[in-house]
Amino acid sequence: MTVPIREGEFWYFRRFAEGQSYATHHRAPVERDEAGAPVPLVPQPGVPARGEELLVDENEWARGQEFFRLADMYPSPDGRLIAWARDTSGDERYTWVVQEASGRIIDEAVVDAGYGFAWADDSASFIYMGVDDAWRACDDVVAPRGHAARGRRAAVGRAGRGFRDGLAPRVSRGTSSFMPHRRRRAARGCGCPPTRPCARCR
């Protein structure tokens, strides 16, 4: 199993069972001592922690697939929802699955996405990275969660030539989130300085 990581009022961790090819993802509520400080969680193999919940069983999702990868997982700031990235082809174009902690799927509308995801502070929407035909991050897209949000995505921006998009971390009102940032791509085989790019790198 992995070392639990605290996100909000829950500890998140993975378990690995003998004979299974993939991990299972779990969480347990944070308990506090008399002073109100969080008590570190030390999960035991085969023994559920108090209040432990199974979030995602990769073995079930991988059943019948020639390839399966769960790339990233992000709980919403309010702890009600879980978003995770699924790849079933190996091409690193992901489907973002948004679900309740119970496992009930809320949204699978975001497909062919790249690396990078962040919840809005109110947990009502999220931002993710789009990719171009060369698998480069090129769009910052905000999507409301829920099936009713299909087709209601708003592009934040598109990287110009010579630039690559990404998500930079920030902290706001006690919650961790990400903001879009844009950095210059290194041109292959070009030695021009970043402050004076040639026509090829612009």
Above 70 in pLDDT, residue 51?
yes
C-alpha 155/C-alpha 200 separation (Å) is: 26
Q: Sort residue 95 into left (φ over 0), alpha (ψ -120 to 50) or beta.
A: beta
* Whether 42 contacts 49, CB under 8 Å: no
Residue keyed to tokens 């010579």: 162
Q: What single-letter DSSP state applies at residue 61?
A: H
What span, in angstroms and rounded, lies between the C-alpha atoms of 37 and 30? 10
How high is the pLDDT of residue 196?
54
Name the percent of the chain lying above pLDDT 90: 54
What is the pLDDT at residue 145? 66
Joined together, the tokens standing for residue 14 give 């993975």
- Residue 172 is inside which H or E element, if any? strand 163-172
What average pLDDT does the chain have? 79
Question: What is the helix (H) or strand (E) element at residue 60, kind and residue range?
Answer: helix 58-62
**Does pTM top 0.85 for this prediction?**
no
Using CB atoms within 10 Å of the CB of residue 114, give its burial: 0 to 12 exposed, 13 to 18 middle, 19+ buried. buried
What tens digit of pLDDT does each residue of 70-129 get? Answer: 999 999 999 999 999 999 999 989 999 999 999 999 999 889 898 889 999 999 889 888
- Quote the CA–CA distance of 196 and 5 in Å, as a whole number: 43
- Hey, what long-range contacts does 71-75 have (CB within 8 A, 24 or more apart)? 71/115, 72/115, 72/117, 73/12, 73/25, 74/117, 74/118, 74/119, 75/7, 75/8, 75/10, 75/12, 75/27
Segment of 9-18, 103-112, 127-136, 150-159 carrying the highest mean pLDDT = 9-18
Burial category of 95 from C-beta neighbours within 10 Å (exposed 0-12, middle 13-18, buried 19 and up) = middle
If one compares 144 and 82, the residue with the highest pLDDT of the two is 82
The band of 198, judged by pLDDT with boundaries at 50, 70 and 90, is low
* Interatomic CA distance for residues 118 and 133, integer angstroms: 23
Using pLDDT thresholds of 50, 70 and 90, give the confidence band for residue 139: low
The pLDDT value given to residue 19: 94
